[in-house]
Amino acid sequence: MKNKIIKNIIVILMLTLFVLPGFAYGNTNISIMPISLELNHWADKYVEQVNNEYGMQDFFKDKDLNHSISPADFENLIQKTLKKDFEYAEEKVSRERAVYEFTKVWAEKTEKDLDNIATIKMLIYEDTTEIDPKYNHSVTVAYMKDIAKGKGERIFDPNTELSYGEAATLVVNTDNAVEKEFENNESIVEGKFETRANYKVTNENVEFDFELFSHFERNRDIMFNSGQQFEITIENEAGEEVYKYSEGKAFTMALVYETIGPGKSLEWTNKWDRKDKENKYLESGKYTAEIEILAKYPELKEGKIDKGQLTKTIYFTLYELDEDGRITTESSKKIIKDKATKVMKNLKVKDIETLVNYVHPEKGLRFTSHTTVNKEEDVVLSIEKLKNFDTDEEYIWGHYDGKGDEIKLTPEEYYEEFIYTKDFLTTEQVGYNEVLSSGNMLENQFEVYDNPIIVEYYVPGEEFYNAWESLRLVFEEYEGNWKLVGIIHNQWTI
């Protein structure tokens, strides 16, 4: 059985060698890129994704994506995206060394022992012999995990310096590889603790609810060295500390023991009053909160628990809420205007491949054909389904208003009839968390979606007043970034 499995793996890998690897690294064959009015360089879509996820617009501004990245910029890029304490001391950034560094980051984030990951010894690239032996294993793992797959045609080009475009691509691919690894390991992990957390923003404070969850199959005793059982540190976008839970507090100096049962957790709550260290109220901006549980595990040598099990990082946005508990128009516009415009540009040219970068990775994208969001009838497409948007498969998207007939269309037919039906991108009437159009149908979008920002593009009637149409883009916050979760079509009907 074991030999059969190994043979199957080898056959699969051999087959992949006869297929041009996906555009995962530095392939300059732009013919395989999606048509887009916005993309002029093969790496533009990767740069755009890094900018969306990490706010790196200033970093890539005026950069020639074909130029070699400087060591200082290489270090800064990884620090701002994947690993805050990353350091790089080499005089240049070769492709082989860059892949080695990104693969190490992947291994650390997924808690993998990089040196002991099994690989099949075969020539992935024609120039494999040119790769420095100390990097070869990491390059192979990077290929297996879709972090880097060379330039195409089985060429890796290890000693050429990394370009800015390739660096952006590696950030995206490493992020995706980490996410994929976690998706493959969602089940209970024996022998580990896990810190989980969520938060809620109000005008008065940010409330953090967090827990230390046990994946062990029997009771586990943990210990705290004092009355302080956790630490919370909040930083702004510039990396400046604005809040530290323990600052100005006194804690009892006594050992505290707690027992956590299998599948159980210890829970805590803490509220931050949205004030910085100068006691100034913070109205807006992006922030990072690092929660650390200060526990020790007496059964382990020296009582140390891996820090990754005791920490949780939360990325969030501050905003103002109106009397109905919705994000205000002013805050909404400040947060989402640029992103909504980019989404609408992608919709205008039907560039679904780029659009998926903005879609919620867990909730997917919900399509509402007639104003009222219907959880039972609305079609929700995952990112994987969206990538196959040109399928001939028909969906039932709901029912036509008035007639009541089923809306049975392919995704592209639905696009023509219910998505970009007017030139919404050029309209002057755009509302941010405010309803610009209404008819006789129920307006329930703010109740269905979770604290959303909804951008409405309203086009008034040309022939007569009531012949208006609008398209609403619905965004929800996910790990500090606002992701597209819904597209609502709205129009006047008789």
Residue at which a domain ends, from 262, 284, 318: 318
Residue 222 CB neighbours (<10 A): 23
What is the per-residue pLDDT for 306? 86
Distance, CA of 176 to CA of 72 (rounded, Å): 24
Based on the fold, state whether residues 167 and 91 are members of the same structural domain.
yes
- What's the CATH code of the domain at 215? 2.60.40.2360
Output the furthest CA–CA distance in the chain (Å, rounded): 79
Tens digit of each residue's pLDDT (9 = 90 or more) over 399-409? 888 777 889 99
Based on the fold, state whether residues 154 and 228 are members of the same structural domain.
no
**pLDDT band of 190, cuts 50, 70, 90:** low
What is the per-residue pLDDT for 303? 60
Based on the fold, state whether residues 361 and 302 are members of the same structural domain.
no
Based on the fold, state whether residues 207 and 272 are members of the same structural domain.
yes
Residue at which a domain ends, from 257, 287, 318: 318
Domain that holds residue 435: 329-491
Tens digit of each residue's pLDDT (9 = 90 or more) over 25-82? 444 343 333 333 345 899 999 999 999 889 999 999 999 999 999 999 999 999 999 9
Based on the fold, state whether residues 162 and 226 are members of the same structural domain.
no
pTM, entire model: 0.57
Q: Is 270 left (phi over 0), alpha (psi -120 to 50) or beta?
A: beta
Q: Is residue 372 part of a domain?
A: yes
Based on the fold, state whether residues 17 and 149 are members of the same structural domain.
yes
Based on the fold, state whether residues 44 and 167 are members of the same structural domain.
yes
Tens digit of each residue's pLDDT (9 = 90 or more) over 220-230? 889 999 999 99
Backbone angles phi and psi of 222, in degrees to 5: -120, 160
Distance, CA of 417 to CA of 369 (rounded, Å): 9
Based on the fold, state whether residues 280 and 401 are members of the same structural domain.
no
Q: Is residue 188 part of a domain?
A: no
Based on the fold, state whether residues 411 and 386 are members of the same structural domain.
yes
Any bridge partners for residue 110, and if so which? Answer: none
Domain count, the chain: 3
Based on the fold, state whether residues 211 and 265 are members of the same structural domain.
yes
Tens digit of each residue's pLDDT (9 = 90 or more) over 127-136? 888 999 899 8
Based on the fold, state whether residues 209 and 274 are members of the same structural domain.
yes
Based on the fold, state whether residues 334 and 246 are members of the same structural domain.
no
Q: Is residue 323 part of a domain?
A: no
